């Protein structure tokens, strides 16, 4: 892709393969295409050099990993083609979020694809009443009423007596003759093998993490941030790069653009030793973080800036709340994620910054801060959900 209706670059997304079935199916589909086969791929197939090169080339184009398929479709619709021009998702998700301007339409890979099935399973240890209820529910699901409801939500029916109609029609971009090729279902070992390959193949992250340690962060706030940031660092890849900046009266660089494998322990220790005191030099911290990204940017990594603060700027001297700050933060194709931690944070600045730099804005509390950092870890391709 060399520019056109999607802007200077085509931003591609899929779900995280440790959290979502469509994410793992995406990777396996790339493997199937590289091997030019419809039957289920094996661990040996996944280890082939051409497969590893194909997955690496594909993942090098991915801008964002969504935690769920629903979020992927919703984000594509709400934020438009400048944020996400193409994504891998269920046909039913396209049907749900496709209508609009511009329309989101399905593209069926000529190599083939997977058909997701969701079997109803009965717990053999359940009591007789529960087992009877499960059978009744299963029978309802495959009967005409429930199957018509499934069609209305863009799902293909398993009951062959059901007449297909909107939204499974050409008006919604649906081609009922597809897929012509359905890939075989992989073994559990193949799932783990392709997850491992993805961790090695995904584009490494050049991350700058900005943490507010001003006096208003005392108590449960700073403790919640320590816990969330440590977990985040633990889930980053060995070949990712991290810069850690704490800011109060002024920004202080604790870790300066180091490979995670070499400083993970030191970075975790630095976070655990954070203490809250002083004013808030938020603008200067953002500017300094962006400057480090500018000095370390590479075509081999994705640039990301994570900003957490619980208040307004009170002490910056080199940067202000203006267009220059936004331009600096979003330069070098940097994705900016911002967290307004509590009611007093500068929500306008943080929301606008995330929006202009293709990131996400979060409203953080002591109760949800760990979940927010876990979602950001997934967006960067962290190891959350990966493995046995």
Q: For position 273, what pLDDT does the model report?
A: 95
β-strands 204-212, 12-15: how paired? unpaired
Token digits of residue 262:
């070499």
The verdict on 73 and 195 lying in the same domain is: yes
Please tell me the distance from the alpha carbon of residue 12 to that of residue 57, in angstroms, as a whole number: 12
Rounded to whole angstroms, the Cα distance separating 28 from 113 reads 9
Residues 354, 232: one domain?
yes
* Partners of 258 in the β-ladder: 242
The values of phi and psi at residue 119, to 5°, are: -70, 145
Assigned token pair, 203: 């584009």
Looking at the fold, whether 106 and 232 belong to one and the same domain comes out as no
Residue 17 belongs to a domain: yes
Q: What is the pLDDT of residue 123?
A: 85
Q: Helix 220-235 and helix 369-380: axis angle, to 10°? A: 20
Query: What is the pLDDT tens value at each position of the chain, 388 positions in all?
Result: 555 665 567 889 999 999 999 999 999 999 999 999 999 999 999 999 999 999 999 998 898 899 999 999 999 999 988 888 899 999 999 999 999 999 999 999 999 999 998 888 888 899 999 999 999 999 999 999 999 999 999 999 999 999 899 999 999 999 999 999 999 999 999 999 999 999 999 989 999 999 999 999 999 999 999 999 999 999 999 999 999 999 999 999 999 999 999 999 999 999 999 999 999 999 999 999 999 999 999 988 999 999 999 989 999 999 998 999 999 999 998 999 999 998 888 899 899 999 988 899 999 998 898 899 888 888 888 877 776 5
Residue where a domain terminates, one of 167, 199, 231: 199
Decide: 212 and 282 in contact? Cβ < 8 Å. yes
Q: How high is the pLDDT of residue 384?
A: 74
Task: Judge whether 147 lies within some domain.
Answer: no
Residue at 139 is within a domain: no
| Nearest CA among 88, 102, 114 for reference residue 13 | 88
Residues 209 and 327 in one domain: yes
- Asked whether residue 190 is domain-assigned, the answer is yes
Q: Which of 199, 230, 255 is the last residue of a domain?
A: 199
Token output for 273: 């030793």
Q: What is the 3-state secondary structure (H, E, C) of the chain?
A: CCCECCECCCCEEEECCCCCHHHHHHHHHHHHHHHCCCCCCCHHHHCCHHHHHHHHHHHCCEEEEECCHHHHHHHHHHHHHHHCCEECCCHHHHHHHCCCCCCCCCCCCCCCECCCCCCCCCCCCCCHHHHHHHHHHHHHHHCHHHHHHHHHCCCCCCCCCCCCCCCCCHHHCCCCCCCCCECCCCCHHHHHHHHHHHHHHCCEEEEEEEEECCHHHCCHHHHHHHHHHHHHHHHCCCCCEEEEEEECCCEEEEEEEEEHHHHHHHHHHHHHCCCCCCCCCHHHHHHHHHHHHHHHCCCCEEEEEEEEECCCCCCCCCCCCCHHHHHHHHCCCCEEEEEEECCCCCHHHHHHHHHHCCCCEEEECCCCHHHHHHHHHHHHCCCCCCCC
pLDDT of residue 60: 87
What global pTM score does this model have? 0.87
- On whether both 51 and 90 belong to a single domain, the answer is yes
Q: Do 185 and 269 lie in a common domain?
A: no
Query: Tokens 């409801």, residue?
Result: 149
CA distance 168 to 171: 8
Distances (CA, A) of 369 to 307, 355, 375, 380: 13, 20, 10, 17
Domain membership flag for residue 159: no
State the residue range of the domain holding 43.
12-115+179-199
343 and 297 in a single domain? The answer is yes
Q: What is the CATH number of the domain that holds 220?
A: 3.40.50.410
Q: How many structural domains is the chain composed of?
A: 2
Is 188 a member of any domain? Answer: yes
Residues 228, 226: Cα–Cα separation, whole Å: 6
Looking at the structure, tell me whether residues 228 and 312 fall in a common domain: yes
The whole-number pLDDT of residue 343 equals 85
The span from the CA of 374 to the CA of 228, in Å, is 8
Domain presence at residue 276: yes
Give the pLDDT of residue 5: 64
Q: Are residues 192 and 316 in the same domain?
A: no
Domain C-terminal end among 165, 199, 233: 199
- In a domain, residue 122? The reply is no
Model pLDDT, residue 81: 84
Task: Examine the domain organization and report whether 209 and 281 are in the same domain.
Answer: yes
Whether residue 109 is found in the same domain as residue 192: yes
Same domain, 46 and 183: yes
CATH code for position 43: 3.40.190
């Amino acid at each position: 892709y060399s520019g056109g209706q999607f802007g200077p670059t085509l931003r591609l997304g899929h779900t995280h393969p440790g959290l979502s079935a469509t994410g793992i199916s995406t990777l396996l589909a790339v493997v199937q295409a590289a091997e030019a086969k419809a039957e289920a791929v094996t661990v040996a197939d996944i280890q082939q050099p051409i497969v590893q090169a194909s997955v690496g080339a594909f993942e090098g184009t991915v801008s964002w990993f969504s935690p769920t398929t629903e979020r992927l479709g919703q984000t594509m619709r709400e934020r438009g083609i400048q944020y996400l021009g193409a994504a891998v998702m269920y046909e039913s998700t396209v049907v749900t979020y496709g209508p609009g301007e511009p329309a989101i339409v399905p593209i069926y890979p000529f190599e083939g694809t997977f058909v997701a099935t969701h079997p109803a399973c009965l717990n053999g240890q359940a009591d007789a009443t529960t087992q009877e209820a499960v059978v009744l529910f299963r029978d309802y699901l495959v009967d005409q009423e429930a199957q018509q409801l499934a069609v209305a939500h863009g799902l293909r029916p398993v009951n062959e007596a059901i007449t297909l109609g909107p939204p499974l029609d050409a008006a919604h971009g649906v081609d009922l003759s597809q897929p012509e090729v359905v890939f075989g279902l992989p073994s559990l070992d193949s799932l783990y093998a392709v997850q491992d390959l993805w961790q090695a193949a995904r584009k490494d992250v050049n991350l700058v993490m900005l943490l507010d340690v001003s006096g208003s962060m005392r108590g449960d706030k700073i403790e919640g941030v320590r816990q969330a940031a440590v977990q985040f660092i633990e889930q980053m890849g060995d070949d990712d790069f991290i810069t850690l900046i704490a800011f109060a009266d002024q920004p202080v660089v604790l870790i300066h653009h180091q490979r995670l494998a070499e400083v993970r322990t030191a970075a975790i220790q630095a976070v655990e030793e954070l203490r809250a005191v002083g004013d808030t030099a938020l603008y200067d911290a953002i500017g300094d973080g962006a400057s480090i990204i500018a000095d370390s940017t590479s075509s081999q990594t994705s640039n990301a800036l994570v900003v957490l603060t619980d208040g307004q700027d009170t002490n910056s001297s080199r940067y202000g709340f203006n267009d220059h700050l936004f331009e600096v933060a979003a330069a070098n194709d940097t994705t900016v994620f911002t967290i307004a931690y509590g009611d007093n944070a500068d929500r306008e600045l943080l929301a606008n910054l995330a929006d202009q730099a293709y990131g996400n804005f979060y409203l953080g509390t002591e109760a949800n801060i760990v979940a927010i950092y876990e979602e950001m870890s997934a967006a960067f391709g962290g190891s959350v959900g990966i493995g046995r």
